Amino acid sequence: MDPTSIIFFDMVASIVILALGLVAAVIYIAKHLHGSHSSKEEHTSTLDDARTKAVKIIDDANNQAIDIVGKVTLSANVASESFRKDLSQASSAQMKKFEKLTSDFTVMYSQVLQDLKTKNIETFQNVSKDIELNTIEEIKNFKESIKRLTVSSQKEVKEKIDTEYEASKKEIDIYKKEELKKVDSDIYDLLEKIAKEVLGKAISLSDHEALIEDALEKAKKEGVFKG
């Protein structure tokens, strides 16, 4: 609530109180007059006088009230003007202050922002560097790990291949030997068949006898018949 309104309401309240006082006085007098039935006519003039006086008092009170209201209005106007002026000044001052504060705040805010930005940039740069370093480290570790795994895998694969190679070589050797044995056997069989076929037809009875005699002669020479 502004001061002008407060003063205005104070004035109105004073006028109302005075008016009530006047009304109370008039009622009292009227009652007093009405109460004395002694001389109605006597009192008529008095009543008229009183009425006139009352009217006069009311008029005076009204005038006074109007005067007061006028004064109050004036005062209120003056107060309002002053208040407006003060308000304007205060407002202006506040505005200036606010502008200054705003400006300061803006500057500070800019500064803080700038600082934050700088810090953030630094942080980001640091984070970026950290990330870069970490990433490089991770890649390095990953490379090492891959290298180790690759070497290990290569070794395992080589061992497996060597084992498989040895096993296959053995199998092939065994197979080769078996096949050669078969070939051997087949050759013998074949040549025996051929020899049998050829010799069976080619050897005459006398040749057979000669071969048997040779056999017995050899047996004799080797001492088969001794003892």
> Is the distance from CB of 18 to CB of 61 less than 8 angstroms?
yes
What is the token pair recorded at 87?
């308000």
- Nearest CA to 193 among 208, 201, 211? 201
Closest separation in Å from C-beta 221 to other proteins: 10
- Which DSSP category does 117 fall into? H
* 183 contact partners, CB below 8 Å, separation of at least 6: none
**Residues 88, 152, 180, 182: which binds other proteins (CB under 8 A)?**
180
Out of 60, 158, 200, 201, which residue is the one contacting other proteins (CB under 8 A)? Answer: 200
Closer residue to other proteins, CB minimum distance, 1 or 205: 205
CB of 189 vs other proteins, minimal distance in Å: 11
Is residue 174 at the binding interface for other proteins, with CB under 8 A as the rule?
no
| Residue 224 makes contact with other proteins by CB under 8 A | yes
CA atoms within 13 A on the CB side of 90: 6
User: Tokens 């005062």 correspond to what residue?
Assistant: 75
Contacting residues toward other proteins, per CB under 8 A: 180, 183-184, 187-188, 191-192, 195-196, 199-200, 203, 205, 207-209, 211-220, 222, 224-225, 227
